[in-house]
Every structure is written in structure tokens, then in C-alpha cells.
């Protein structure tokens, strides 16, 4: 592990399974655990819910948290994972996304999460994370039910 001001790099020795490419690994694929005994023990203990989804779960977790997805690279006989740190240029992007959400709500208080996601070109999970953050920070609030309700921008969003 190497920690830098803008990122964290993780490297682990071991080549991809024979016949696998990075595209295979980052997409839907079958699982080929290196140590089947350890993998099976983790599966039985409930640490693995299904095979071949680890990287997708990692990426989804970062997206849900509103963070940039880590990058994965097969290099130097191992796997390198690069995780961008908060306080980097992507932090400014998240702040701009918050501002855009507040403006879209001002323009249309009945806007839906799907409409926000489409307008911002981000996932619905990413919008949901941002909305929850804005609500926690008392920038916006939801009035009424999901269907038929509306958003209000509070004083801190002005």
C-alpha cells in the first residue's frame, strides 16, 4: 500500500487467471478462486454472497457513497487498485453535483430521482446518496410522500 495526497494505491501479487483479461474481470464473469478452500470457507461464513461479483460490489459501494470508482490494473505480475482520496479534484465535482441538484430542485420542486439522475448523467444511487447528504446538511427537505410530494430548498441552500 502506498498513500499519496491524492490517492491510495494497493498492489497484490498474482496474475489474472489463465484466459482472463481486465475486461473480463471488470465485466460479468465466472469466478476462479485461487484457493478454493479459503474461498469456500468465506462463502460458508457469509462473507461471499455469490461468486464473481467482488469488483462489481466494490464499484457499487463507492458509487453509492458518491465517490469515484477505483481503477483496476493488471501490472508488474499483480493487481493494482487506485483509490482517489477526498480533497482531490473529484471532491469539487461532487460539490458541483450538489449545487446542480439544488438548482434543479429550485427549478422543479416535483423533480424525481430518476429525472435528476438523467439530467446529471449519474446513477440513481448516486443521486440518492447526494439527496441524503443534502437532507442531513439541512439544505433540502422532502415534503409529502415520494409520489405526489415535493422538495423544498432550505436557507442553507440559498
Q: Are 150 and 110 in contact (CB under 8 A)?
A: yes
The answer to which of 93-97, 123-127, 141-145 has the lowest mean pLDDT is 93-97
- 149 versus 47: the higher-pLDDT residue is 149
pLDDT digits (tens, 9 = 90+) for 23-52: 887 887 777 777 788 888 988 888 877 777
List the beta bridge partners of residue 142.
151
Residue 24's pLDDT is 82
List the beta bridge partners of residue 82.
9, 71
Residue 69's pLDDT is 86
Other Cβ atoms less than 10 A from the Cβ of 74: the count is: 15
Residue among 139, 138, 140 at smallest CA distance from 149: 140
Residue 158's pLDDT is 45
Residue among 63, 79, 69 at smallest CA distance from 22: 79
Confidence tier at 101 by pLDDT (50, 70, 90)? very high
The answer to which of 2-11, 49-58, 68-77, 131-140 has the lowest mean pLDDT is 49-58
Above 90 in pLDDT, residue 59? no
Cell 463507492, residue? 62
Residue 110's pLDDT is 94
Cell 405526489, residue? 148
Amino acid at each position: 500500500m502506498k498513500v499519496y495526497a491524492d490517492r491510495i494505491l494497493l498492489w497484490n501479487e498474482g496474475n489474472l487467471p489463465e484466459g482472463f483479461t481486465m475486461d473480463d474481470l471488470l465485466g460479468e464473469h465466472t469466478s476462479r478462486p485461487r484457493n478454493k478452500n479459503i474461498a469456500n470457507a468465506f462463502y460458508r461464513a457469509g462473507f461471499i454472497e455469490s461468486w464473481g461479483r467482488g469488483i462489481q460490489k466494490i464499484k457499487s459501494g463507492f458509487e453509492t457513497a458518491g465517490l469515484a470508482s477505483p481503477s483496476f490494473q493488471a501490472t508488474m505480475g499483480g493487481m493494482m487498485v487506485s483509490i482517489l482520496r477526498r480533497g482531490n479534484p473529484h471532491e469539487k465535482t461532487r460539490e458541483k453535483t450538489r449545487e446542480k441538484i439544488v438548482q434543479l430542485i429550485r427549478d422543479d420542486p416535483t423533480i424525481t430521482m430518476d429525472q435528476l439522475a438523467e439530467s446529471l448523467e449519474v446513477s440513481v444511487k448516486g443521486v440518492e446518496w447526494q439527496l441524503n447528504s443534502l437532507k442531513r446538511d439541512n439544505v433540502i427537505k422532502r415534503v409529502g410522500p415520494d409520489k405526489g410530494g415535493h422538495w423544498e430548498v432550505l436557507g442553507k441552500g440559498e
